Structure 1
């Protein structure tokens, strides 16, 4: 299929299937997911026409290179531009495939918003040759209006003040609807070491409450002193992740909860029968469990309860949340400037939404080869490819959520970064392609410290909340 026919087909799909991108209303389900309502067809039709005309040729797979790509010296440049364009945003994947039955993702919206506001697309060297490829002022307004409407329809929590309602970051809700009886069982199971093969480890061993849902270790220590090769992500606010694990191999919290107990170097149980045999000897716990789950102990029921409990591990009321809600004094002027730098340096294109991340998979080596510079290859470096098996997913990782990030060091999937300053510097170089000056890094780090929230009546980390 030629790029022209692909573009036409994609355009039809964009118009037909992505009209959901401007729904006027939505509701939040128990898992924090959205329920689609009636779409505004005309608005997305206009956006899809612009995308088809201005963007799709450089941001879709199976393209046909233009005739002048055969000119010596030009071919390699054009091939690199197409490759870089796809890695930055594959519009067939993000606007067509991923959004057939759901809204366009928050990260995709934020990326489109950023390039329009910063006038980075199409690149100058492209428009110099393709004079008709510039995005007009009218086109920009249509796209930005669509982003705003889509964000309000599908992702706004309804908690932000009017002045901040269209920010790419949203306030966390105070709580989500949960089945209290299931969650109570899940809380016990989350801290129950009988889920491990030798009764030494629980979920809370690697996701400690007093360490913001992590263990502050580069790699977590598993059964019999074994170590993996990937940093344990926080369990706090994980309910808002689009998928679980750095490589997205778990679709939801329940599937994720079933992974570590059976992992031979993590909790090391042989199977659910081994775990259930131990739990069934606890008569009081068994009676309580059967009162909620009529069929008693099963692997599905255990992970169901743990997942329900994890929905309560959300940390609202950070100082930044309060600012978003309209309290202008909640953060300082310098911290507000830090947030503006956070957006300026493109951090908010990926770290979006309620949990400030967890909504997309991005290349760790988008602008520069992080892995070559770091050295010492790890099996976990494959990222999403380790789950999908697709070559194009090599080095793509789920964007971590940044809630309580000042407390969750070390950083990155490989746990090699000890400070927020260094994490910001690395993100600038390898993801944004920008060398962030020290002064701006200081401002961004100051902003990131405003994301520490509350849990169980205390600031995350243990400090009592001032009344």
Structure 2
């Protein structure tokens, strides 16, 4: 244990994880995006907004296994966090989207989340003098689907959540507990960083769930969620391939996995070790790794909060 703590206190220059920061300046464009993000008039029932599926008091995600659609049905997948999206590539559980702009257009074009077309959204905003004035100050073209998307994406990119672990990476050895330090060393030793690395501690590659031990799934699942990227490519090699999620704020975002089928981080670590690593991790090590995962929770800039 003493050796582990010594290693944890060494220079972080070669660490597989990198710290993030809050935006240095909160711009008018971010604030316009914030207003749009929380505006219920941009939904068919005028009761739903972007935050309805991305709760800020739940790590930017949704507290149930699937998010509700405009028509009352459920989404195919568990809702991922809206926080720390910059540099996440690709996007979507199936890795089917190449940019946040494309994701935004996909959501509106399908009309399943908010129930409105772009033309209706544009019209509703153009009928509100405050929006007309705010858009005119930022965009010469005024209110269009492109400028609406730009404002929303600018806001979402700004939703970074520096955590105690970031302070630790930057040299504050007292920022996290001794258990969290040990958990981080175990996280690296067990190889979790092979998929969860960088600033977002994941979110930047696609991987099959069940690399070593096959991960059971229900072939009769009508949502087809268990098929993963196969739904996008039709390639059998992509069955059960998913985008690796970021682990930032992971302690705040249960339930877990693409289908929201796992309720605790302890279960997540145990299942991942079995299916991805082909081994059982001792309970004591699982608790330490979970302590590390808890140190990854932070909040966006206060001016960007609800």
- Do both proteins adopt the same fold according to a TM-score greater than 0.5, normalized to the shorter chain? yes
- Distance in 2, matches of 1:172 and 1:376, equals 41
- Distance in 2, matches of 1:344 and 1:376, equals 38
Matched, 1:192 2:35: no
- Distance in 2, matches of 1:175 and 1:284, equals 25
The equivalent residue for 1:308 is: 154
Give 1 or 2 for the bigger CA radius of gyration: 1
Deviations 1:74-106 (A, max 9, x none): xxxxxxxxxxxxxxxxxxxxxxxxxxxxxxxxx
- Distance in 1, matches of 2:153 and 2:121, equals 17
The equivalent residue for 1:429 is: 274
Q: CA deviation at 1:290?
A: 2.1
Q: CA deviation at 1:177?
A: 7.4
Query: In the alignment, is the contact (CA less than 8 A) between 1:195 and 1:261 conserved in 2?
Result: no
Deviates more, 1:211-220 or 1:291-300: 291-300
The equivalent residue for 1:29 is: none
3-state SS, counterpart of residue 397 of structure 1: strand
Q: How does 1:415-426 map to 2 (within 5 A)?
A: 415-426=260-271
The equivalent residue for 2:225 is: 380
Query: In the alignment, is the contact (CA less than 8 A) between 1:425 and 1:435 conserved in 2?
Result: yes
The equivalent residue for 1:281 is: 127
Q: TM-score, normalised by structure 1?
A: 0.60
Matched, 1:290 2:136: yes
Matched, 1:259 2:106: yes
Give the one of 208, 216, 221 matched to 2:55: 208
- Distance in 2, matches of 1:299 and 1:205, equals 21
Aligned length: 296
Structure having greater relative contact order (Cα 8 Å, sep ≥ 6): 2
Deviations 1:407-458 (A, max 9, x none): 0111000000110000111111111222112111111111100111232349
The equivalent residue for 2:202 is: 357
Give the one of 337, 342, 348 matched to 2:187: 342
Give the one of 237, 240, 243 matched to 2:87: 240
- Distance in 2, matches of 1:391 and 1:295, equals 45
CA separation of 1:176/1:218 partners in 2, compared to 1, >3 Å: closer, same or farther? farther
Q: TM-score, normalised by structure 2?
A: 0.90
Query: In the alignment, is the contact (CA less than 8 A) between 2:266 and 2:290 conserved in 1?
Result: yes
3-state SS, counterpart of residue 451 of structure 1: coil
Structure 1: stretches of 5+ with no match in the other structure: 1-160, 463-467
The equivalent residue for 2:5 is: none
Query: In the alignment, is the contact (CA less than 8 A) between 2:183 and 2:285 conserved in 1?
Result: yes
Structure 2: stretches of 5+ with no match in the other structure: 1-8
- Distance in 2, matches of 1:330 and 1:365, equals 35
Deviations 1:109-140 (A, max 9, x none): xxxxxxxxxxxxxxxxxxxxxxxxxxxxxxxx
- Distance in 2, matches of 1:283 and 1:201, equals 21
Give the one of 363, 368, 383 matched to 2:213: 368
- Distance in 2, matches of 1:407 and 1:443, equals 17
Across the aligned residues of Structure 1 and Structure 2, the Cα RMSD in angstroms comes to 2.2
- Distance in 2, matches of 1:253 and 1:389, equals 23
3-state SS, counterpart of residue 286 of structure 1: helix
